[in-house]
Structure 1
Amino acid sequence: MKKYIVTLAILISFNLSKAQDGISDVLAAGVEAAALFTNSYTEPAAEAFSYNLSAGWYDDARVLPKGKFNFIVRAQATFSKDEDKSFLLDPLVYQDIIQNSYDNTNNPPADVTVTFGDDSTTPRLIATALGQNDPSQSLVIITRDRTTGIQTDRSVIELPQGLGDAGVDVVPSAFIQAGFGLGAGLELKARFVPRTQIDEAEIAIYGGAIQWQVSDVLDKNDVLPVEVSVLAGYSVLDAMYDFEDGAVVDGEDQRLETKSGSLTLSLIAGTDFKVLNFYGGVNFNAGTTETDLLGTYTVRSSGSIFPIGQTFEDPISVKTDVSSMLGTVGTKLTLGFFQINAGYTFGEFDTLNGAIAFKF
């Protein structure tokens, strides 16, 4: 389990560090441009994390008997579609935003142009936090004195890579989960990853759920051919990356924080055999992910088009909301107190999960 947690923390550390490298540098072009880029860059990953957190809450339509409990080690992988790995970036849109921001400063009048590193202004696909820029991509921001036409500044901003640059095609998670039978057809569930730190990154996962076996209460004579239950669960991912001063912006207490919460409501049906069982469910998922660039950022490089010494405080906050219906199918093998489970949740983002469990 520790190996999975460390792997997850390393991947999130990689992703957050890559985001920091680009987003903090984009600040040199102004808060408005950086906020637009951050939203486009992080939104698909935020959605994927929300769907990942909503999966894996159940592996059976039956609940544990009163006083019984289980201990589960679960790993999940959420798949992203190709269209979620990139977004269309139009340099002219950023040019308008940066020009407006520049005009609101006390700098001498100037005209701003924005191009890609190869001088093109044609919109192109750029990596999101799930993708990869191959080859690497950059934006070039040039200012020219409005009266003389003389170039007064040239800034080059390297755009960040995503998980694809590490050869990762999925959004992973791994956690410990436990259940306890309360009686009256109820089972209480909890999941967690203890706060883990790898280099400058920290990650924690926690959540809880309640499952009620409706058929145990309303179908005591076993008229129904399957067991039926309902479930409500909520999971949270809390991640942070604490980074050093960048090449373009200086400051204090600089960090990138991501917090994702996901609510799951499920209707579950499954077989009732001793060894091998199958289950399926219909789920409603609603989630929110907030990504915040926090701390103090002071432009100190001559490569910035804005006044040297301009300071931004907690400059960027991006919020992503998702809600949709999902379907789940799976199977569970029980060998005494030992169980193996595999499930697949399909919808906007598909998630594969597997687990080993010990029932007592």
Structure 2
Amino acid sequence: MKYVIAFVFLVCGSVMYSQSNINEVFAAGIEDTEKFSNSYFSPVSEAAIYGLSNGWYNSARTKPLGGFEISLIGNMTSFKNKRDKMEFNLNTADYENLKFQDGSTSKFVSTALGDIEGIGVYVEGEVVPGVTTREEFDLPTGIASEGIHFIPTAFLQLSFGLVKGMEIKARFLPKIDTEEVGLGLYGAGLQYDFTSLLPAEDLFPVAISGVVGYTHLDATYDFTNSSIVDGDDQRVEIDMSVWSFQAVASTKLKIINFYGGLGYISGKSNTDVLGTYRVRTGPFQQTYVDPFSMKKDADGMNATIGAKLKLGFFRLNVDYAIAAFNNLTVGVNFGFR
């Protein structure tokens, strides 16, 4: 488990390293910073919402009373070749102070998922009447510039059989903090096998069930000071909630089974930019405290197909979900009944 967590933090560190000069945009003023940040962070929030909606099931059959399964689940949510999620068109006419150094009025720039580098911008204005100053800096790139084209998530999950046909689930990742990044999640789910209502369910070759799951993620990141903007306790706090509703079908073989699902995902992400930001160079030298918050809602359909291998207490499952962000899930499971 510790190696999975270390890998997650490695990727998160790469994300935030690519974003480390995001606070330099404060040199353009609070309105421009908020507008840019919304476009920049929105795709990574959406990708995380889709990623956290996965991994709730590996069969349509529910466990009998007293049956249980403990799982280590890893998700890789891909955004490779999704240019509409990796970049956005920045039109300076929509900004009060931000301008491109090469004189362009509009061009594509990187989101937090992207790979566009070296986009020089500037802000210019009078510090006192008759005295104009100009501050230049580069816009931040994204994690694709580090060769990473997916968002990882990992957590433990417990499934437990209740009354006939019903199974409850819980998932969690204890809050873990490094010097810069903190991450933790929890969730709960319910699965009901409708074929358990049939009078001869054992003769029916396919199980059909419904799954509802809820996941909550908390994450924080402390920014590194730049040469343009300094301050205190600069950080981003993320609060994310995701609902997943799935209809699932699977075979009933003894060793290898195949399963598939069709469902709906709905999630919300709130990102608070907190701390003190002091712009110390350029024409707009101001101090901002807890400057703004960003919200992102995402919803859509997904379709999943997968396979599960069962060897006694050990089970291994792999599935692939097709959605706005495709996702690969791998589960290592240990269970009884």
Tell me the amino acid that sits aligned with residue 115 of structure 1.
K
Q: SS of the residue aligned with 1:13?
A: helix
Cα contact 1:64–1:181 (8 A) shared by 2: yes
Of 230, 250, 274, 1:294 maps to: 274
Establish whether residue 219 from structure 1 lines up as the match of residue 203 from structure 2.
no
Of 74, 84, 100, 1:116 maps to: 100
- Name the counterpart of 1:196: 176
Shift of 1:115: 3.0
> For the residues of structure 2 that align with 1:121 and 1:345, how far apart are their CA atoms?
40
Cα contact 2:55–2:329 (8 A) shared by 1: yes
Superposed counterparts of 1:267-278, under 5 Å: 267-278=247-258
Shift of 1:178: 1.4
- Name the counterpart of 1:6: 6
- Name the counterpart of 2:121: 139
> For the residues of structure 2 that align with 1:158 and 1:167, how far apart are their CA atoms?
20
Q: SS of the residue aligned with 1:133?
A: coil
Cα contact 2:20–2:224 (8 A) shared by 1: no
Shift of 1:73: 1.2
RMSD: 1.9
Tell me the amino acid that sits aligned with residue 71 of structure 2.
I
Shift of 1:17: 4.3
Establish whether residue 341 from structure 1 lines up as the match of residue 317 from structure 2.
yes
Shift of 1:270: 0.9
Tell me the amino acid that sits aligned with residue 185 of structure 1.
G
Distance 1:163 1:82, change over 3 A: same
- Name the counterpart of 1:251: 231
- Name the counterpart of 1:28: 27
> For the residues of structure 2 that align with 1:158 and 1:8, how far apart are their CA atoms?
27
Of 323, 330, 346, 2:299 maps to: 323
Cα contact 2:127–2:283 (8 A) shared by 1: no
> For the residues of structure 1 that align with 2:154 and 2:305, how far apart are their CA atoms?
19
Deviation per CA, 1:62-109, whole angstroms, max 9, x where unpaired? 111111211111111111122211111122322xx23xxxxxxxxxxx
Q: SS of the residue aligned with 2:265?
A: strand
Cα contact 1:330–1:342 (8 A) shared by 2: yes
> For the residues of structure 2 that align with 1:166 and 1:124, how far apart are their CA atoms?
22
> For the residues of structure 2 that align with 1:142 and 1:344, how far apart are their CA atoms?
49
Q: SS of the residue aligned with 1:52?
A: helix
Shift of 1:205: 2.1
Q: SS of the residue aligned with 2:116?
A: coil
> For the residues of structure 1 that align with 2:236 and 2:113, how far apart are their CA atoms?
17
Shift of 1:45: 0.8
> For the residues of structure 2 that align with 1:197 and 1:353, how far apart are their CA atoms?
25
Name structure 2 gaps, 5 residues minimum: none
Shift of 1:249: 2.6
Establish whether residue 49 from structure 1 lines up as the match of residue 48 from structure 2.
yes
Shift of 1:146: 11
- Name the counterpart of 2:328: 352
- Name the counterpart of 1:105: none
> For the residues of structure 1 that align with 2:15 and 2:272, how far apart are their CA atoms?
14
Q: SS of the residue aligned with 2:144?
A: helix
Tell me the amino acid that sits aligned with residue 127 of structure 1.
S
Q: SS of the residue aligned with 1:62?
A: coil
> For the residues of structure 2 that align with 1:304 and 1:290, how far apart are their CA atoms?
30
- Name the counterpart of 2:108: 125
> For the residues of structure 2 that align with 1:252 and 1:147, how far apart are their CA atoms?
31
Distance 1:220 1:155, change over 3 A: farther
- Name the counterpart of 2:282: 304
Superposed counterparts of 1:82-93, under 5 Å: 82-93=83-94
- Name the counterpart of 1:101: none
Shift of 1:52: 0.1
Deviation per CA, 1:226-264, whole angstroms, max 9, x where unpaired? 111111101122111123443223332221112221100
Cα contact 1:240–1:255 (8 A) shared by 2: yes
Tell me the amino acid that sits aligned with residue 248 of structure 2.
I
Cα contact 2:122–2:134 (8 A) shared by 1: yes
The structure whose Rg is larger is 1
Cα contact 2:124–2:282 (8 A) shared by 1: no
Cα contact 1:5–1:193 (8 A) shared by 2: no
Shift of 1:44: 0.9
> For the residues of structure 2 that align with 1:82 and 1:291, how far apart are their CA atoms?
23
Q: SS of the residue aligned with 1:164?
A: helix
Tell me the amino acid that sits aligned with residue 6 of structure 2.
V
Cα contact 1:17–1:243 (8 A) shared by 2: no
Instruction: Please say which of residues 204-213 and 8-17 is displaced more in the overlay.
Output: 8-17
- Name the counterpart of 2:62: 63
Tell me the amino acid that sits aligned with residue 100 of structure 2.
F
Shift of 1:145: 8.6
In the alignment of these two chains, the number of paired residues is 333
> For the residues of structure 1 that align with 2:266 and 2:4, how far apart are their CA atoms?
26
> For the residues of structure 2 that align with 1:78 and 1:220, how far apart are their CA atoms?
40
> For the residues of structure 2 that align with 1:173 and 1:131, how far apart are their CA atoms?
19
- Name the counterpart of 1:176: 156
